[in-house]
Amino acid sequence: MASYLLNRFAQSLINIFFITILVFLLARATGDPAAALVPDDLPEAAVIELRARLGLDKPLIHQYWLFVQDIASGDLGMSIKGHRPVIDMIIERIPATFSLALAALVIAMAMGIPLGVLSAVYRDTFIDRVAKVVAFLGQSTPPFWLAIMLILFFGVFLFEQGLPSLPVSGRGGPATYIMPAFAMGWAVTAGVLRITRSSMLDVLDSDYMTMARAKGLSETTVIWKHALRNALIPVVTYFGLIIAAFMNGSVVIEQVFAWPGLGRLALVAVTGRDFPVVQGVVITVGVFLIVINLAVDILYAFIDPRIRYTKQ
Amino acid sequence: MTGKKLHARDIGASAAPADTASIGRQLHTALSALKRAPLVPTSILGILISFAVFAPLIAPHNPIKIDIMANLTPPVWHEGGSSQYLLGTDKLGRDVLSRMIYGSRLSLSLSLIVIFLGGTTGVLLGMISGYLGGFVDALIQRSVEAMLALPTILVALVFVFTFGFGFWNVVFILSPFIAARFARMVRGETLSIKERDYVASAKVIGTSKAGIILRHILPNVANTVIVLATLEVGHLILVESSLSFLGVGIPPPNPAWGLMVSEGREYIATAYWISLFPGIAILAAVLSLNLFGDWLRDVLDPRRKQL
């Protein structure tokens, strides 16, 4: 197990190197950062001095090292438009993005797991076909379109009919979470459903299920306690992908619902030509995903005996 | 799907190891199996492809021609609708149906180009990585994993910030992600294929590494690659339309589906058709590709059978 963990740890470092060097090179490709910071009429000497202060006169590799040091110390630079440290703007937006992701996760689990279990237990029946439809639709629906259609029905149509409707934009009480969380969780529901179903099918075929039944346990206990607990192990590995899907989805969904999170921050910064903010969000989210994936790998190593007892 | 499922045993030949001679036979089997393809997804794909190919012949209007007098005309079945604009018009009076038909051209061509560029690179890297092993394998695999750990849409945002947006920029950003996905899948396949007897015999008779990879590994990963390519085209249509929706993909006034949904957003309360129909086009295209790909996997690649 130690070599497995070491391997995952090394890969995480490589991933962090990869994303920082990518963003660093793209940042340099946008042009001379010093030129962007100084007014046109500044004397040449001042520009040279500024370049020296920013470390831009040093070789590229040295500049990269300075860049990484800044990031590691939590300094993501200043926003060009906001005139404040990027890190502050990001920290401000984190609760909105995370609470939305959490709500979407709850929705995806609440729909995907029971449906996955039922479709495995009642294989090739009506309920299994319903699950298949959900799985295929979830994978195929464009999230931004789903979001707008939800607004059309729950926001516009119900409102016009004089029925209780849902708020269509902004973050506030629990009601504001329903549509964005569903739009974001829908695609992930499909994934959770698929994995739960296939791992449930594996578990249902196993000997200890026969054993549990032989002990005289009720079918409900056998399925929802014994089988599900084991079937959920592969779902854990899927967690890293879910979080990645939410972080990508947040750009789109936050845009539709005017949700004040990280995704919207990045998109607005792209439109407003505010590079430090775009770069800050990408690095923060990228590193966060790498850390989450490492955590999932470690967790998995501990709960899955096949990895726990592997000696290499 | 329908009750009767096609299994590998129905077309036994495709499960047998392929070499160059049998790849033609395999293709033949695949073609004859196509007759049993799921009807609805296959038909939808057929329609979309003909739309894309024959757009100028099918579309009733020029997709970017502005007719401000006719703006926000509802679809023909509504009061005030016009038989001239079957699915209505957008805020500039452009025909929604014609834009959707031309939109299939953009979505399909972009996805196919990315699949071709990224897929070819990924298949080559995957085979080299799996067959050679050692340092090359480690280098390729570490890069592939690092690539797959990136948040696609956010990275696309930084990229677009730097290089601007447009059709070829989207191709350029998405191809490496596709290459990474293909490389990972193909490497796994290659690892198991290279242990087989016929690869060992080829080695004994002195076939070069390149020869073994191209003549013995490639034909045997072909099925997996075809299935993956089908599913990835659908995935790419979703990603491209998301980028276009965000305004960082295909630029206006092009009739990209994602862009159309986005243009209808501010009129959602009064002119729902601007957003609704292009979204249905995306959903239909991706759903058909997923269903078709799923069927194809049952036929060509039964070991990887899923839900």
Q: How far apart are CA A260 and CA B60, in angstroms?
A: 42
Nearest to A269 by CA among A254, A286, A290, A257: A254
Alpha helices (H) along chain B: 20-34, 39-53, 55-58, 96-132, 134-148, 152-163, 167-193, 197-204, 209-212, 218-246, 257-264, 273-300
| Distance separating the N- and C-terminal Cα atoms of chain A | 8
What is residue B19's predicted lDDT score, i.e. its pLDDT? Answer: 54
The one-character DSSP state at B92 is T
Exposed/middle/buried for residue B69 (C-beta within 10 Å: 0-12, 13-18, 19+)? exposed
How far is residue A41's CA from residue A32's CA, in Å, rounded to a whole number?
A: 16
Within the 189-208 window of chain A, which residues sit less than 8 Å (CB to CB) from chain B?
A: 193-194, 197-198
- Partner residues linked to B85 by β-bridges: B82
The pLDDT value recorded for residue A35 is: 63
How confident is the model at residue A83, as a pLDDT?
85
pLDDT in tens, B168-184: 999 999 999 999 999 99
Residues of A within 8 A of B258 (CB-CB) are 142, 144
Strand partners, B117: none
Which pLDDT does position B7 carry in this prediction? 44
Question: Is B181 in contact with B229 (CB distance < 8 Å)?
Answer: no
* Among candidate residues B160, B28, B221, B216, the one with its CA nearest the CA of residue A29: B160
Give the list of residues 6+ apart from residue A91 with CB closer than 8 angstroms, or none.
Answer: none
What ipTM was reported for this prediction? 0.88
Which residue among B152, B261, B268 places its CB closest to the CB of A144?
Answer: B261
For the stretch B111-136, pLDDT in tens is 999 999 999 999 999 999 999 989 99
Tokens of B133: 């092993």
Pairs of residues, one from chain A and one from chain B, whose beta carbons lie less than 8 Å apart: 149
Structure tokens at B41: 């997804």
One-letter amino acid at A123 equals R
Angle at B115 between CA B286 and CA B29, to 5 degrees: 80
Q: Is the Cβ of A14 closer than 8 Å to some Cβ of chain B?
A: yes
Buried b or exposed e, range A271-302, using 16+ CB within 10 angstroms: eeebbbbbbbbbbbbbbbbbebbbebbeebbe
CA atoms of A302 and A237, how far apart (whole Å): 12
> What's the N-to-C CA distance of chain B in angstroms?
11
Residues of A in contact with B154 (CB under 8 A): 247-248, 251, 263, 266, 281-282, 285-286
Assess B261–A contact: CB distance below 8 Å, yes or no: yes
Query: Which residues of chain B register pLDDT less than 70?
Result: 1-23, 26, 30, 302-307
Residue A187: per-residue pLDDT: 92
Residue B11, pLDDT score: 39
Q: Which residues contact A232 (CB under 8 A, 6 or more apart)?
A: A113, A196, A199
Integer CA distances (angstroms), A231 to A83, A200, B124, in order: 50, 5, 36
Residues of chain A with pLDDT under 70: 31-41, 305-312
Cβ within 8 Å of residue B299, ≥6 positions away: B6, B8, B11, B14, B30, B33
A11·B262 Cβ contact <8 A:
no
Distance of CA A180 to the CA centre of its chain: 14
